[in-house]
Structure 1
Amino acid sequence: MTDKEVVISDRTANPAPLGLLGFGITTVLLNLHNAGLFPINSMIIAMGFAYGGIAQILASVMEYRKGNTFGTVAFGSYGLFWWSLVLLLMIPNIRFIETTGTAAAAADPTSMAAYLFMWGLFTLAMFIATLKLKRGIQVIFISLAILFFLLTAGEITGSAMITMVAGYEGIFTGAAAMYVGLAEVINEAYGRNVLPT
């Protein structure tokens, strides 16, 4: 008997651009609101549920299949972040307890500050892992951590100015994610590094 060497080629697509674009575009749109350019509305809620949520969760599952723990945790966590944010916005307006006829209370500034702070800590820890990855991913994660901490400060202080600054910083964060996602698509299509990441 002779030994045979079998080489298995991974022919699956790179799921990172889908997750990065789902995160990036939705983040830009939400932070246009935080910057004070328009009120929160169904467009943001729909994007948070569909592209921010579902697209990133799908990317997480695909990263899992590729054996990428970082991608699985990042896309899965932020996809579910978007779903939790959508629920935080929607639940107070839903009468789901028919016996009392009341909706759940909206999250107060203190609880929202705790929510945003915990996401900031998580993001900061994930940033440490990015130090072994591409510079573009590092920029996304450190700017996202800053965004969560600015939003936390805005909730704690009630300062519209801090929230507006967070909005512009969040636009940068989302744009950075969009750039890296599109760069990965373009670079793969051209078979070379057209856009640096």
Structure 2
Amino acid sequence: MENKLANPAPLGLMGFGMTTILLNIHNLGLFPVSAVILSMGIFYGGIAQIIAGILAFKREKTFAGTAFISYGFFWLSLVGIWLLPALGVKAAEETPASFFACYLAIWGIFTGFMWWGTWGGSKVQQFVFLSLTLLFLLLALSKATGNDTIGVIAGGLGVICGSSAIYLAMAELLEEVKNKKVLPY
């Protein structure tokens, strides 16, 4: 009997999309970083995406597996950057803005290559990765320059990016549930 795995992409995209929206509502200046963002970063943006990535690898989907596991660990590392200094871990001093900018720029470069991997595929998937590339680079620029306006612009883009990931998740999920394409992607 064949062991067929379900499509883990909707789970991974929802974990990414919802967590990205919440963080970027913060970047817009509407709310502080709080337990809401930290918890979503650990459990849905982090752990759920890693699970989705492992399942994608089991389905021999290298791109999806790499994306979901990488961004799952992005969320866990981001929470670690915030929490470790607050927990008094001696080796974990608060990260200088210029070094945090390097962290974000590296994620932007990685995401740019991932965007390249979407060319020829779904237009919505291309948009998710392009907007995420720009988001990381804008956030890096904001941290490097200390320009909060760039961070607010990035926040708006981040809400759009996260929303597009949720749209793609629902398009794939509804297509499977309804056994036909419901939302274009």
User: Where on the TM-score scale, by shorter chain, does this alignment land: which range?
Assistant: over 0.9
- Map Cα deviations across residues 17-52 of structure 1 (whole Å, 9 max, x no partner): 000000000000000000011111111000000000
Aligned equivalent of 1:46, options 39, 51, 55: 39
What is the deviation of 1:66? 0.3
Contact between 1:144 and 1:170, CA under 8 Å: does it hold in 2?
A: yes
What is the alpha-carbon distance in structure 2 between the residues aligned to residue 149 and residue 61 of structure 1? 27
Contact between 1:124 and 1:141, CA under 8 Å: does it hold in 2?
A: yes
Write 1 or 2 for the structure with the bigger share of helix.
Answer: 2
Unaligned stretches of 5+ in structure 2? Answer: none
Aligned equivalent of 1:92, options 58, 78, 85: 85
Q: Secondary structure at the match of 2:184?
A: coil
The two structures have a TM-score, normalised by structure 1, of 0.91
Amino acid at match of 2:75: W
Instruction: Kindly tell me the number of residue pairs found equivalent between the two proteins.
Output: 185
- 1:34 matched residue in structure 2: 27
What is the alpha-carbon distance in structure 2 between the residues aligned to residue 96 and residue 163 of structure 1? 28
- 1:147 matched residue in structure 2: 135
Aligned equivalent of 1:82, options 75, 88, 100: 75
Contact between 1:94 and 1:104, CA under 8 Å: does it hold in 2?
A: no
When the two chains are superposed, the root-mean-square deviation of aligned CA atoms in Å is 1.2
What is the alpha-carbon distance in structure 1 between the residues aligned to residue 62 and residue 126 of structure 2? 16
What is the alpha-carbon distance in structure 1 between the residues aligned to residue 89 and residue 92 of structure 2? 8
Structure number with greater Rg is: 1
Contact between 1:113 and 1:155, CA under 8 Å: does it hold in 2?
A: yes
What is the alpha-carbon distance in structure 2 between the residues aligned to residue 32 and residue 175 of structure 1? 12
The two structures have a TM-score, normalised by structure 2, of 0.97
- 1:3 matched residue in structure 2: none
What is the deviation of 1:187? 1.2
